[in-house]
Structure 1
Protein backbone atom coordinates (compact mmCIF):
# COMPACT_ATOMS: atom_id res chain seq x y z
CA UNK A 1 0.00 0.00 0.00
CA UNK A 2 1.38 3.45 -0.86
CA UNK A 3 2.49 5.71 1.97
CA UNK A 4 -0.33 8.15 2.72
CA UNK A 5 0.69 11.77 3.33
CA UNK A 6 -1.79 14.54 4.04
CA UNK A 7 -0.58 18.13 4.37
CA UNK A 8 -2.46 20.97 6.04
CA UNK A 9 -1.27 24.11 4.26
CA UNK A 10 -2.37 27.55 3.09
CA UNK A 11 -0.26 27.04 -0.05
CA UNK A 12 -1.05 23.62 -1.53
CA UNK A 13 0.45 24.58 -4.91
CA UNK A 14 3.92 24.57 -3.36
CA UNK A 15 3.81 20.79 -3.06
CA UNK A 16 3.99 20.33 -6.81
CA UNK A 17 7.74 20.57 -6.18
CA UNK A 18 7.44 17.18 -4.45
CA UNK A 19 4.86 15.47 -6.66
CA UNK A 20 6.06 16.62 -10.09
CA UNK A 21 9.86 16.79 -10.02
CA UNK A 22 12.92 14.68 -9.36
CA UNK A 23 13.09 11.44 -7.41
CA UNK A 24 9.99 12.20 -5.35
CA UNK A 25 8.04 13.12 -8.50
CA UNK A 26 8.90 9.78 -10.07
CA UNK A 27 7.96 7.99 -6.85
CA UNK A 28 4.62 9.80 -6.84
CA UNK A 29 3.92 8.82 -10.45
CA UNK A 30 4.77 5.22 -9.56
CA UNK A 31 2.30 5.33 -6.65
CA UNK A 32 4.98 4.83 -4.02
CA UNK A 33 3.22 7.51 -2.00
CA UNK A 34 0.03 9.52 -2.25
CA UNK A 35 -0.06 13.16 -1.20
CA UNK A 36 -3.22 15.13 -0.44
CA UNK A 37 -3.36 18.76 0.63
CA UNK A 38 -5.99 20.50 2.75
CA UNK A 39 -6.31 24.28 2.84
CA UNK A 40 -7.58 25.56 6.22
CA UNK A 41 -9.39 28.38 4.40
CA UNK A 42 -11.78 25.76 3.02
CA UNK A 43 -12.84 25.01 6.60
CA UNK A 44 -13.32 28.60 7.74
CA UNK A 45 -16.87 29.46 8.81
CA UNK A 46 -17.15 33.10 7.76
CA UNK A 47 -17.55 34.73 4.36
CA UNK A 48 -13.98 36.07 4.47
CA UNK A 49 -12.50 32.58 4.96
CA UNK A 50 -10.62 33.88 7.99
CA UNK A 51 -7.91 31.60 9.31
CA UNK A 52 -5.99 33.89 11.71
CA UNK A 53 -6.50 36.47 14.44
CA UNK A 54 -4.44 38.60 16.85
CA UNK A 55 -2.92 36.81 19.85
CA UNK A 56 -4.44 37.01 23.32
CA UNK A 57 -2.15 38.95 25.60
CA UNK A 58 -0.96 41.20 22.81
CA UNK A 59 2.16 41.04 20.70
CA UNK A 60 3.08 41.30 17.02
CA UNK A 61 1.69 39.26 14.17
CA UNK A 62 -1.23 36.91 13.88
CA UNK A 63 -1.97 33.38 15.11
CA UNK A 64 -3.74 30.69 13.09
CA UNK A 65 -7.23 29.93 14.42
CA UNK A 66 -7.86 26.49 15.97
CA UNK A 67 -11.17 25.60 14.30
CA UNK A 68 -10.11 25.56 10.61
CA UNK A 69 -6.98 23.58 11.49
CA UNK A 70 -8.88 21.17 13.71
CA UNK A 71 -11.46 20.46 11.01
CA UNK A 72 -8.81 20.09 8.30
CA UNK A 73 -6.85 17.57 10.37
CA UNK A 74 -10.00 15.60 11.14
CA UNK A 75 -10.83 15.49 7.43
CA UNK A 76 -7.32 14.23 6.69
CA UNK A 77 -7.68 11.55 9.38
CA UNK A 78 -11.00 10.50 7.84
CA UNK A 79 -9.44 10.21 4.38
CA UNK A 80 -6.64 8.04 5.71
CA UNK A 81 -9.14 5.76 7.41
CA UNK A 82 -10.69 5.10 3.99
CA UNK A 83 -7.21 3.84 3.02
CA UNK A 84 -7.31 1.38 5.94
CA UNK A 85 -4.96 3.44 8.11
CA UNK A 86 -6.40 3.43 11.61
CA UNK A 87 -3.49 5.20 13.30
CA UNK A 88 -1.91 8.15 11.52
CA UNK A 89 0.94 10.27 12.88
CA UNK A 90 0.41 14.04 13.04
CA UNK A 91 3.54 16.21 12.82
CA UNK A 92 3.67 19.95 13.33
CA UNK A 93 6.67 21.54 11.59
CA UNK A 94 7.87 23.91 14.29
CA UNK A 95 11.11 25.55 15.49
CA UNK A 96 10.20 24.19 18.92
CA UNK A 97 10.32 20.62 17.68
CA UNK A 98 12.96 17.91 17.82
CA UNK A 99 15.77 18.58 15.37
CA UNK A 100 15.37 16.39 12.29
CA UNK A 101 18.14 13.87 11.65
CA UNK A 102 18.72 10.65 9.74
CA UNK A 103 17.49 8.42 12.57
CA UNK A 104 14.19 10.30 12.73
CA UNK A 105 13.80 9.98 8.95
CA UNK A 106 14.29 6.21 9.25
CA UNK A 107 11.70 5.99 12.04
CA UNK A 108 9.10 7.93 10.08
CA UNK A 109 9.76 5.91 6.91
CA UNK A 110 8.32 2.87 8.73
CA UNK A 111 4.89 4.50 9.15
CA UNK A 112 1.97 4.10 6.75
CA UNK A 113 0.20 7.41 7.34
CA UNK A 114 1.42 10.94 8.07
CA UNK A 115 -0.37 14.25 8.48
CA UNK A 116 1.94 17.26 8.25
CA UNK A 117 0.74 20.53 9.73
CA UNK A 118 2.32 23.66 8.23
CA UNK A 119 2.04 26.79 10.33
CA UNK A 120 2.32 30.41 9.19
CA UNK A 121 2.49 33.85 10.77
CA UNK A 122 3.37 33.65 14.50
CA UNK A 123 2.29 30.02 14.67
CA UNK A 124 -0.87 28.13 15.55
CA UNK A 125 -3.18 28.11 18.56
CA UNK A 126 -1.56 25.95 21.26
CA UNK A 127 -4.77 24.00 21.77
CA UNK A 128 -4.36 22.39 18.34
CA UNK A 129 -0.94 21.11 19.38
CA UNK A 130 -2.32 19.57 22.58
CA UNK A 131 -5.44 18.17 20.85
CA UNK A 132 -4.10 16.87 17.57
CA UNK A 133 -0.30 16.81 17.27
CA UNK A 134 1.75 13.68 18.03
CA UNK A 135 5.15 15.22 17.42
CA UNK A 136 6.82 18.54 16.62
CA UNK A 137 9.83 18.55 14.27
CA UNK A 138 12.28 21.31 13.36
CA UNK A 139 14.63 21.21 10.37
CA UNK A 140 17.13 23.64 11.90
CA UNK A 141 17.85 26.51 14.24
CA UNK A 142 16.75 29.29 11.91
CA UNK A 143 13.52 30.97 10.89
CA UNK A 144 11.65 30.47 7.61
CA UNK A 145 8.28 31.86 6.56
CA UNK A 146 6.21 28.76 7.13
CA UNK A 147 6.15 25.00 7.52
CA UNK A 148 5.78 24.14 3.84
CA UNK A 149 9.47 24.00 2.98
CA UNK A 150 10.17 22.04 6.14
CA UNK A 151 7.41 19.57 5.24
CA UNK A 152 8.90 19.10 1.78
CA UNK A 153 12.33 18.41 3.28
CA UNK A 154 10.75 15.80 5.54
CA UNK A 155 8.79 14.16 2.70
CA UNK A 156 11.81 14.01 0.40
CA UNK A 157 13.95 12.44 3.12
CA UNK A 158 11.31 9.79 3.87
CA UNK A 159 10.67 8.93 0.22
CA UNK A 160 14.40 8.31 -0.38
CA UNK A 161 14.27 5.52 2.19
CA UNK A 162 11.47 3.66 0.42
CA UNK A 163 12.75 0.52 -1.35
CA UNK A 164 12.91 0.90 -5.12
CA UNK A 165 12.77 4.69 -5.18
CA UNK A 166 16.45 5.29 -5.86
CA UNK A 167 17.96 3.95 -9.05
CA UNK A 168 20.65 2.14 -7.05
CA UNK A 169 19.70 0.49 -3.78
CA UNK A 170 23.18 1.20 -2.41
CA UNK A 171 22.75 4.96 -2.79
CA UNK A 172 20.64 5.35 0.33
CA UNK A 173 23.04 3.15 2.31
CA UNK A 174 26.01 5.34 1.36
CA UNK A 175 24.37 8.74 1.85
CA UNK A 176 25.91 11.17 4.29
CA UNK A 177 24.88 10.62 7.93
CA UNK A 178 23.97 6.93 7.48
CA UNK A 179 26.86 5.91 9.75
CA UNK A 180 27.25 9.34 11.34
CA UNK A 181 29.83 10.11 8.67
CA UNK A 182 29.90 12.57 5.80
CA UNK A 183 30.21 11.10 2.33
CA UNK A 184 33.60 10.79 0.67
CA UNK A 185 34.48 13.12 -2.27
CA UNK A 186 33.17 12.15 -5.70
CA UNK A 187 34.80 12.55 -9.13
CA UNK A 188 33.77 11.93 -12.73
CA UNK A 189 35.18 12.60 -16.23
CA UNK A 190 37.53 14.06 -17.35
CA UNK A 191 40.47 12.61 -15.42
CA UNK A 192 42.19 16.00 -15.57
CA UNK A 193 40.10 19.15 -15.35
CA UNK A 194 42.02 22.38 -15.84
CA UNK A 195 45.06 21.03 -14.06
CA UNK A 196 43.21 19.20 -11.27
CA UNK A 197 43.50 15.42 -11.52
CA UNK A 198 41.32 12.67 -10.09
CA UNK A 199 43.10 10.89 -7.20
CA UNK A 200 45.07 8.08 -8.80
CA UNK A 201 43.76 5.46 -6.40
CA UNK A 202 40.27 5.84 -7.90
CA UNK A 203 41.71 4.88 -11.29
CA UNK A 204 43.60 1.87 -9.96
CA UNK A 205 40.82 -0.69 -10.16
CA UNK A 206 41.85 -1.97 -6.72
CA UNK A 207 38.50 -2.07 -4.94
CA UNK A 208 39.96 -2.81 -1.50
CA UNK A 209 42.25 0.23 -1.68
CA UNK A 210 39.43 2.39 -3.03
CA UNK A 211 37.21 1.31 -0.12
CA UNK A 212 39.90 2.22 2.42
CA UNK A 213 40.54 5.59 0.75
CA UNK A 214 36.84 6.44 0.74
CA UNK A 215 36.42 5.38 4.37
CA UNK A 216 39.42 7.51 5.33
CA UNK A 217 38.01 10.52 3.50
CA UNK A 218 34.62 10.09 5.21
CA UNK A 219 36.24 9.83 8.63
CA UNK A 220 38.55 12.77 7.99
CA UNK A 221 35.90 15.05 6.51
CA UNK A 222 33.55 14.40 9.42
CA UNK A 223 36.34 15.04 11.94
CA UNK A 224 37.28 18.29 10.16
CA UNK A 225 33.90 19.71 9.19
CA UNK A 226 31.29 18.39 11.59
CA UNK A 227 32.49 18.06 15.19
CA UNK A 228 28.88 17.58 16.31
CA UNK A 229 28.51 14.56 14.02
CA UNK A 230 31.98 13.34 14.94
CA UNK A 231 30.98 13.21 18.60
CA UNK A 232 28.18 10.80 17.69
CA UNK A 233 30.51 8.65 15.62
CA UNK A 234 33.13 8.66 18.38
CA UNK A 235 30.55 7.53 20.95
CA UNK A 236 29.73 4.58 18.69
CA UNK A 237 33.37 3.60 18.81
CA UNK A 238 35.96 3.32 16.05
CA UNK A 239 37.37 0.09 14.74
CA UNK A 240 41.15 -0.46 14.66
CA UNK A 241 41.09 0.15 10.90
CA UNK A 242 39.12 3.38 11.28
CA UNK A 243 41.51 4.66 13.94
CA UNK A 244 44.52 3.94 11.73
CA UNK A 245 42.95 5.62 8.72
CA UNK A 246 41.97 8.69 10.73
CA UNK A 247 45.46 9.07 12.23
CA UNK A 248 46.95 8.89 8.74
CA UNK A 249 44.47 11.53 7.57
CA UNK A 250 45.41 13.80 10.48
CA UNK A 251 49.09 13.49 9.57
CA UNK A 252 48.36 14.64 6.02
CA UNK A 253 46.45 17.63 7.38
CA UNK A 254 49.37 18.49 9.66
CA UNK A 255 51.74 18.38 6.68
CA UNK A 256 49.43 20.68 4.71
CA UNK A 257 49.33 23.23 7.53
CA UNK A 258 53.07 23.19 8.01
Structure 2
Protein backbone atom coordinates (compact mmCIF):
# COMPACT_ATOMS: atom_id res chain seq x y z
CA UNK A 1 0.00 0.00 0.00
CA UNK A 2 1.05 3.57 -0.67
CA UNK A 3 -0.21 6.40 1.53
CA UNK A 4 0.37 10.07 0.71
CA UNK A 5 -0.31 12.96 3.07
CA UNK A 6 -0.78 16.48 1.73
CA UNK A 7 -0.15 18.97 4.50
CA UNK A 8 1.25 22.37 5.38
CA UNK A 9 3.03 20.91 8.42
CA UNK A 10 5.02 17.84 7.33
CA UNK A 11 7.07 17.87 10.54
CA UNK A 12 3.99 16.71 12.46
CA UNK A 13 4.25 13.26 10.86
CA UNK A 14 7.85 12.40 11.74
CA UNK A 15 7.32 10.90 15.19
CA UNK A 16 4.16 8.96 14.39
CA UNK A 17 5.23 7.44 11.07
CA UNK A 18 8.69 6.62 12.43
CA UNK A 19 7.52 4.71 15.50
CA UNK A 20 5.89 1.49 16.61
CA UNK A 21 3.69 -0.49 14.19
CA UNK A 22 3.82 2.11 11.42
CA UNK A 23 7.60 2.00 11.41
CA UNK A 24 7.60 -1.82 11.37
CA UNK A 25 5.07 -1.85 8.55
CA UNK A 26 7.44 0.21 6.41
CA UNK A 27 10.37 -2.03 7.29
CA UNK A 28 8.31 -5.04 6.15
CA UNK A 29 7.49 -3.23 2.89
CA UNK A 30 3.79 -3.47 3.69
CA UNK A 31 3.32 0.28 3.25
CA UNK A 32 5.09 3.29 1.82
CA UNK A 33 4.44 6.71 3.36
CA UNK A 34 5.06 10.02 1.63
CA UNK A 35 4.46 13.45 3.14
CA UNK A 36 4.15 16.42 0.78
CA UNK A 37 3.87 20.10 1.62
CA UNK A 38 1.27 21.28 -0.87
CA UNK A 39 2.49 24.86 -0.46
CA UNK A 40 5.23 23.83 -2.89
CA UNK A 41 2.57 23.54 -5.60
CA UNK A 42 1.25 27.07 -5.19
CA UNK A 43 1.46 29.07 -8.41
CA UNK A 44 1.45 32.29 -6.41
CA UNK A 45 4.85 33.98 -6.19
CA UNK A 46 4.43 34.25 -2.42
CA UNK A 47 3.37 30.56 -2.22
CA UNK A 48 0.11 31.44 -0.52
CA UNK A 49 -2.44 28.63 -0.32
CA UNK A 50 -5.41 30.41 1.25
CA UNK A 51 -7.57 33.47 0.68
CA UNK A 52 -10.56 35.33 2.11
CA UNK A 53 -13.94 33.69 1.49
CA UNK A 54 -16.28 35.17 -1.08
CA UNK A 55 -19.21 36.80 0.65
CA UNK A 56 -17.19 37.61 3.74
CA UNK A 57 -16.86 35.74 7.00
CA UNK A 58 -14.25 34.76 9.56
CA UNK A 59 -11.11 32.84 8.74
CA UNK A 60 -9.27 31.91 5.57
CA UNK A 61 -10.17 29.27 2.98
CA UNK A 62 -7.74 26.93 1.21
CA UNK A 63 -7.62 27.68 -2.52
CA UNK A 64 -8.16 24.85 -5.01
CA UNK A 65 -5.10 25.26 -7.28
CA UNK A 66 -2.28 23.96 -5.01
CA UNK A 67 -4.29 20.95 -3.86
CA UNK A 68 -5.56 20.02 -7.33
CA UNK A 69 -2.03 20.24 -8.72
CA UNK A 70 -0.50 18.27 -5.83
CA UNK A 71 -3.06 15.47 -6.16
CA UNK A 72 -2.57 15.44 -9.94
CA UNK A 73 1.16 14.92 -9.48
CA UNK A 74 0.64 12.06 -7.01
CA UNK A 75 -1.83 10.35 -9.32
CA UNK A 76 0.80 10.19 -12.07
CA UNK A 77 2.68 7.52 -10.10
CA UNK A 78 -0.41 5.59 -9.04
CA UNK A 79 -0.97 2.19 -10.64
CA UNK A 80 -4.70 2.32 -9.90
CA UNK A 81 -7.16 5.10 -9.14
CA UNK A 82 -6.35 6.26 -5.59
CA UNK A 83 -8.88 7.04 -2.89
CA UNK A 84 -8.55 10.74 -2.13
CA UNK A 85 -9.61 11.39 1.44
CA UNK A 86 -10.61 14.74 2.86
CA UNK A 87 -10.51 14.69 6.66
CA UNK A 88 -13.11 17.11 7.99
CA UNK A 89 -15.84 17.36 10.66
CA UNK A 90 -18.56 17.12 8.00
CA UNK A 91 -17.43 13.73 6.73
CA UNK A 92 -18.60 10.18 7.27
CA UNK A 93 -17.92 8.95 10.81
CA UNK A 94 -14.86 6.70 10.74
CA UNK A 95 -15.23 3.17 12.12
CA UNK A 96 -13.63 -0.26 11.90
CA UNK A 97 -15.68 -1.22 8.87
CA UNK A 98 -14.31 1.79 6.99
CA UNK A 99 -10.78 0.88 8.08
CA UNK A 100 -11.24 -2.62 6.68
CA UNK A 101 -12.56 -1.18 3.42
CA UNK A 102 -9.60 1.19 3.02
CA UNK A 103 -7.14 -1.59 3.88
CA UNK A 104 -8.02 -3.17 0.55
CA UNK A 105 -7.00 -0.10 -1.48
CA UNK A 106 -3.53 0.19 -3.04
CA UNK A 107 -3.17 3.97 -2.80
CA UNK A 108 -4.63 6.47 -0.32
CA UNK A 109 -4.14 10.23 -0.49
CA UNK A 110 -5.05 12.27 2.59
CA UNK A 111 -5.70 15.99 2.24
CA UNK A 112 -4.96 17.70 5.55
CA UNK A 113 -6.32 21.20 5.69
CA UNK A 114 -5.99 24.10 8.08
CA UNK A 115 -7.70 27.44 8.54
CA UNK A 116 -11.46 27.88 8.15
CA UNK A 117 -11.98 25.23 5.51
CA UNK A 118 -11.62 24.20 1.87
CA UNK A 119 -12.85 25.70 -1.35
CA UNK A 120 -15.99 23.68 -2.11
CA UNK A 121 -14.67 22.67 -5.54
CA UNK A 122 -12.12 20.46 -3.79
CA UNK A 123 -14.97 18.50 -2.21
CA UNK A 124 -17.08 18.34 -5.34
CA UNK A 125 -14.54 17.54 -8.01
CA UNK A 126 -11.47 15.98 -6.37
CA UNK A 127 -12.07 13.88 -3.26
CA UNK A 128 -13.61 10.41 -3.17
CA UNK A 129 -14.17 10.20 0.59
CA UNK A 130 -14.84 12.69 3.36
CA UNK A 131 -14.08 11.25 6.79
CA UNK A 132 -14.48 12.52 10.35
CA UNK A 133 -13.03 10.82 13.43
CA UNK A 134 -15.62 12.37 15.75
CA UNK A 135 -18.03 15.18 16.44
CA UNK A 136 -15.44 17.77 17.37
CA UNK A 137 -13.17 20.22 15.59
CA UNK A 138 -9.37 20.09 15.46
CA UNK A 139 -6.85 22.65 14.26
CA UNK A 140 -6.12 20.70 11.11
CA UNK A 141 -6.39 17.37 9.35
CA UNK A 142 -2.96 16.02 10.29
CA UNK A 143 -3.90 14.24 13.51
CA UNK A 144 -7.06 12.55 12.18
CA UNK A 145 -5.27 11.47 9.00
CA UNK A 146 -2.61 9.75 11.11
CA UNK A 147 -5.28 8.12 13.27
CA UNK A 148 -6.99 6.71 10.19
CA UNK A 149 -3.70 5.57 8.65
CA UNK A 150 -2.72 3.75 11.84
CA UNK A 151 -6.08 1.98 11.96
CA UNK A 152 -5.78 0.92 8.32
CA UNK A 153 -2.12 -0.12 8.20
CA UNK A 154 -2.36 -2.50 11.17
CA UNK A 155 -4.88 -4.51 9.12
CA UNK A 156 -2.46 -5.12 6.25
CA UNK A 157 -1.19 -8.72 5.91
CA UNK A 158 2.00 -9.38 7.87
CA UNK A 159 2.02 -6.09 9.79
CA UNK A 160 0.99 -7.52 13.17
CA UNK A 161 2.90 -10.46 14.56
CA UNK A 162 -0.24 -12.52 15.22
CA UNK A 163 -2.54 -12.86 12.21
CA UNK A 164 -5.54 -13.24 14.53
CA UNK A 165 -4.89 -9.99 16.41
CA UNK A 166 -6.92 -7.66 14.17
CA UNK A 167 -9.77 -10.18 14.02
CA UNK A 168 -10.12 -10.05 17.82
CA UNK A 169 -10.03 -6.28 18.13
CA UNK A 170 -12.98 -4.33 19.44
CA UNK A 171 -15.47 -3.57 16.63
CA UNK A 172 -13.92 -6.09 14.20
CA UNK A 173 -16.23 -8.81 15.52
CA UNK A 174 -19.10 -6.41 16.08
CA UNK A 175 -18.56 -6.51 19.85
CA UNK A 176 -16.17 -4.79 22.22
CA UNK A 177 -13.18 -6.92 23.10
CA UNK A 178 -13.19 -9.16 26.18
CA UNK A 179 -10.93 -8.44 29.22
CA UNK A 180 -7.29 -9.54 29.15
CA UNK A 181 -5.07 -10.78 31.99
CA UNK A 182 -1.41 -11.77 32.33
CA UNK A 183 1.04 -12.78 35.07
CA UNK A 184 0.95 -12.78 38.04
CA UNK A 185 -2.30 -14.65 38.56
CA UNK A 186 -2.68 -12.99 41.97
CA UNK A 187 -1.59 -9.38 42.32
CA UNK A 188 -2.18 -7.90 45.77
CA UNK A 189 -5.31 -10.02 46.18
CA UNK A 190 -6.65 -9.17 42.73
CA UNK A 191 -6.98 -12.54 41.01
CA UNK A 192 -7.29 -13.68 37.43
CA UNK A 193 -10.61 -15.50 36.74
CA UNK A 194 -10.21 -19.22 37.41
CA UNK A 195 -11.48 -20.21 33.98
CA UNK A 196 -8.45 -18.60 32.30
CA UNK A 197 -6.14 -20.81 34.36
CA UNK A 198 -8.13 -24.00 33.72
CA UNK A 199 -6.49 -24.96 30.43
CA UNK A 200 -9.95 -25.77 29.04
CA UNK A 201 -9.92 -23.89 25.77
CA UNK A 202 -13.61 -24.43 25.07
CA UNK A 203 -14.61 -22.90 28.42
CA UNK A 204 -12.11 -20.07 27.94
CA UNK A 205 -13.55 -19.23 24.52
CA UNK A 206 -17.08 -19.28 25.91
CA UNK A 207 -16.04 -17.00 28.80
CA UNK A 208 -14.44 -14.57 26.38
CA UNK A 209 -17.53 -14.47 24.16
CA UNK A 210 -19.77 -13.86 27.16
CA UNK A 211 -17.50 -11.13 28.53
CA UNK A 212 -17.33 -9.51 25.11
CA UNK A 213 -21.11 -9.49 24.88
CA UNK A 214 -21.39 -8.19 28.46
CA UNK A 215 -18.96 -5.36 27.88
CA UNK A 216 -20.71 -4.36 24.67
CA UNK A 217 -24.13 -4.37 26.32
CA UNK A 218 -22.87 -2.31 29.27
CA UNK A 219 -20.80 0.22 27.33
CA UNK A 220 -22.04 0.30 23.72
CA UNK A 221 -25.56 -1.19 23.55
CA UNK A 222 -26.05 0.62 20.24
CA UNK A 223 -23.70 -1.90 18.62
CA UNK A 224 -26.09 -4.72 19.44
CA UNK A 225 -29.05 -3.06 17.74
CA UNK A 226 -27.64 -3.61 14.25
CA UNK A 227 -26.20 -7.07 14.89
CA UNK A 228 -27.94 -10.41 14.50
CA UNK A 229 -27.22 -12.51 17.59
CA UNK A 230 -26.96 -16.28 17.74
CA UNK A 231 -29.37 -18.21 19.96
CA UNK A 232 -26.65 -18.66 22.60
CA UNK A 233 -25.83 -14.97 22.51
CA UNK A 234 -29.50 -14.09 22.94
CA UNK A 235 -29.70 -16.36 26.00
CA UNK A 236 -26.55 -14.85 27.49
CA UNK A 237 -27.88 -11.36 26.91
CA UNK A 238 -31.20 -12.15 28.59
CA UNK A 239 -29.31 -13.62 31.53
CA UNK A 240 -27.19 -10.46 31.81
CA UNK A 241 -30.30 -8.30 31.82
CA UNK A 242 -31.89 -10.37 34.59
CA UNK A 243 -28.73 -10.17 36.69
CA UNK A 244 -28.80 -6.39 36.35
CA UNK A 245 -32.41 -6.04 37.50
Taking structure 2 as the reference length, the TM-score comes to 0.95
Q: Secondary structure at the match of 1:116?
A: strand
Q: Secondary structure at the match of 1:137?
A: strand
- Quick one: which of 88, 97, 101 aligns to 2:91? 97
Q: State the match for 1:141 in structure 2.
A: 135
What is the Cα deviation at residue 156 of structure 1? 0.9
Q: State the match for 2:238 in structure 1.
A: 247
Q: State the match for 2:28 in structure 1.
A: 30
Q: State the match for 1:86 in structure 2.
A: 80
Q: State the match for 1:10 in structure 2.
A: 8
What is the Cα deviation at residue 94 of structure 1? 1.2
Q: Secondary structure at the match of 1:158?
A: helix
What is the Cα deviation at residue 91 of structure 1? 0.9
How far apart, in 2, do the equivalents of 1:87 and 1:7 lie?
16
Aligned ranges for residues 14-163 of structure 1 at < 5 Å? 14-80=12-78, 85-163=79-157
Mapped contact 2:30–2:157 kept (Cα < 8 A): no
Number of aligned residues: 245
What is the Cα deviation at residue 53 of structure 1? 1.2
Mapped contact 2:7–2:112 kept (Cα < 8 A): yes
State the superposition RMSD in angstroms. 1.4
Structure 1 unpaired stretches of 5+: none
Q: Secondary structure at the match of 1:218?
A: helix
Mapped contact 1:91–1:135 kept (Cα < 8 A): yes
Mapped contact 1:180–1:232 kept (Cα < 8 A): no
Structure 2 unpaired stretches of 5+: none
How far apart, in 2, do the equivalents of 1:248 and 1:42 lie?
61
Most deviating of 212-221 and 44-53: 44-53
How far apart, in 2, do the equivalents of 1:76 and 1:47 lie?
22
What is the Cα deviation at residue 72 of structure 1? 1.0
How far apart, in 1, do the equivalents of 2:89 and 2:57 lie?
19
- Quick one: which of 188, 193, 198 aligns to 1:194? 188
What is the Cα deviation at residue 199 of structure 1? 1.0
What is the Cα deviation at residue 63 of structure 1? 0.7
